[in-house]
Chains A and B, each alone.
Chain A
């Protein structure tokens, strides 16, 4: 399994707890870094002044859309605009399945769009599938830093 970290961008602590629980319950032990809003997420990735942030980029970003300060779409835009993170897998994990959000998400370069089910059993299943797919099945693009 890809030993990389998972960046969870989520402002709702309940959702954070439940997501982490869902991941762990399926033996996905990768580190989960939580950013509680868009600003934190961008700081983690690019550093406080837009300089180099995390030494190691996450293997996958789980991105909520409705976030305080900088919302999910803006975060996605910044990620795709930057050479270092251009090819990073980003999965939108959100409550809404409004058509315009789905279209905008994919237009901005999201790799996947998953709506959080209300039923926790279903949610756990979705988290498992996500972990399996993005950390195990998926062959990520080599990050520029490693080149």
Chain B
């Protein structure tokens, strides 16, 4: 584990120990150094004192060259166990006496070294001149002391320093262990809180505040941040909850609508099926009518004609008239059937929607009407460019019926006029077929478009009462509306939208 990754507790403890250790080390080094220096000076001083005393005592023995006396003086050095060797030199520098007596000669220098006290080669050396006060020099005293005392002092003070250091470090460690808590505890508390939040996502916990220092400020800031996060979290959860509610509501609504739609679809399907069924029935009916209903009519008409041709001689005028009436009725019935079939066809025909020019269509129909009855003079006023979208075949049938209607009902008019155009009704374009023919009483306007409903007798105007019903069927199949306005002998106007 790298130093960086140490727990903050250990870091703090280590830091404190390092600092106090360094301080202690420096202090101890100073202490030991001082001890040693002081002791060495003391040692030198002691030795010089000793040297001066012995030198003073030795003046007589040197002055009188009394070797025995000199030996005795030197042997007094036994009291100083540190002094390992001593010697007296006479004024010419010759060795005069030595201590201890058995000291080999060559362990001492032949001539005295320069005066003074100094450390040399692990020993303290002292060279003291021997002279009477105020007189000439008599000789030289040489002293050699070992360093045992110095090194003992050194070891002692080093030991004391080590001991003090050890105790101090222990104390520092114990103190650091306790004091680091001041800093580490709030940090650890913060860390713990942060961990708890990140693992449990619980933003309601708060870091405990342990003081008013910078860590306290940090804790406050942290807690404030937490409070804000908690608020935002709550708001978020509320919006989420709301969203979920909306989503659920929406789902419900969609499900409801889907259900309704399905029901409606089902109803539509049923209706469509019913419609298809009734359409099929109508189809079968129309087919059957087309084939079967006309056959007997043909027989009635045919055999009436046979009677008229083959038995004319045996019939009187009334009999022939009756037969003619039978034939007329039969043919009218044939026309009725044909018209009904047309109406049925209009109802079941498939719609094909495309662009249709109604003006063109109207001009075409007008020309056809003129061609079939060239004796009539009718004024047509057809507005140009009236286009729309629809089934061209069905629209042709509708427009044909309307124009033919006008053509028919203007037959008794001196100056017949038929108009085709368009007007705006409630913002919608309505097409219009207007004539100045027989018109009709508005009282019966609602009967105009009913099947077999007629406002005129056949004697007045030919017709079956199916044409306008067919027109209305076509207009309503296009999603449009048809209505009429008119007055007796004032003409009629038919309006339709698509």
Instruction: Please classify how large the interface on chain A is, using the bins under 10, 10 to 19, 20 to 34, 35 or more.
Output: 10 to 19
| B residues near A95, Cβ cutoff 8 Å | 290-292, 294-295, 298
Interface status of B153 (Cβ within 8 A of chain A): no
Q: Does B334 contact A (CB under 8 A)?
A: yes
Let me know if B57 is at the binding interface, CB within 8 A: no
The answer to whether B480 has its CB under 8 Å from any CB of chain A is no
- The CA-CA distance from A14 to B287 in the complex, in Å, is 21
**Smallest distance from the beta carbon of A105 to chain B beta carbons, Å?**
14
CB-based A-B contact count at 8 angstroms: 61
Within 285-324 of B, Cβ neighbours of A (below 8 Å) are at 286-287, 290-292, 294-299, 301-306
Indicate whether A91 reaches chain B with its CB closer than 8 angstroms.
no
A21 to B304, CA, bound (A): 13
Q: Tell whether, in the assembled complex, residue B291 and residue A94 are in contact, meaning their CB atoms are under 8 Å apart.
A: yes
Contacts of B306 in A (CB 8 A): 18, 21, 120
- Taking a contact as CB atoms under 8 Å apart, the answer to whether B298 and A123 are in contact is yes
**Given A14-B303, A119-B301, does the pair A65, B331 have CB atoms closer than 8 Å?**
no
- Docked Cα-Cα span, A118 to B339, in Å, equals 14
Q: Shortest Cβ distance from A121 into chain B, in angstroms? A: 7
Asked whether A12 lies within 8 Å of B295 as measured between CB atoms, the reply is yes
Interface residues of A, Cβ cutoff 8 Å to B:
12, 14-15, 18, 21, 65-66, 94-98, 116-121, 123
**Could you tell me if A118 and B294 are in contact, using CB atoms closer than 8 angstroms?**
yes
Can you list 6 pairs linking A and B with CB atoms under 8 Å apart?
A15-B298, A18-B302, A65-B291, A94-B291, A116-B298, A118-B301
Known: A14-B296, A96-B291. 9 other contacts (CB 8 A): A15-B298, A21-B302, A95-B294, A97-B290, A118-B297, A118-B334, A119-B301, A119-B327, A120-B327
Q: Give the contacts of B47-72 with A (CB-CB under 8 A).
A: none
Asked whether, in the complex, the Cβ of B292 is within 8 Å of the Cβ of A118, the reply is no
- Chain B residues whose C-beta falls within 8 Å of the C-beta of A121 in the assembled complex: 305
Q: Interface residues of A: mostly helix, strand, loop or mixed?
A: loop
Does B330 touch A at the CB level, under 8 Å? Answer: yes
Within 8 A of A (CB), among B253-298: 286-287, 290-292, 294-298
How many angstroms from the CA of A93 to the CA of B305 in the assembled complex? 20
B287 x A120 contact (CB < 8 A): no
Q: Which B residues touch A14, using CB under 8 A?
A: 295-296, 298-299, 302-303
C-alpha spacing A14/B292, complex, angstroms:
13
> Which B residue sits closest to A21, measured CB to CB?
B306
List the A side residues contacting B292 at CB < 8 Å: 66, 95
User: Which residues of chain B come closer than 8 Å to A15, judged between CB atoms?
Assistant: 295, 298-299
Q: Report the bound CA distance from A121 to B299 in whole Å.
A: 12
Closest to B298 in A: A118
Interface flags, B324-336, vs A, CB<8A=1, else 0:
0001001101100
Are B295 and A98 interface neighbours, CB within 8 A? no
Taken together as a complex, chains A and B put the C-alpha atoms of A119 and B331 apart, in Å, by: 6
Known: A118-B330, A118-B334, A119-B331. A98 touches B297 (CB 8 A): no
Whole-angstrom distance between the alpha carbons of A66 and B288 in the complex?
10
Nearest-Cβ distance from residue A35 to partner chain B, whole angstroms: 17
Whether B287 and A98, one on each chain, are in contact in the complex, defined by CB atoms closer than 8 angstroms, is yes
A98 to B333, CA, bound (A): 18
CB-CB < 8 A to A98: which residues of B? 286-287, 290
Contact residues in A for B294 (Cβ distance below 8 Å): 95, 116, 118
> Given the complex of chains A and B, what is the CA–CA distance between A116 and B299 in angstroms?
11
State in angstroms the CA–CA spacing of A95 and B299 once bound together. 12
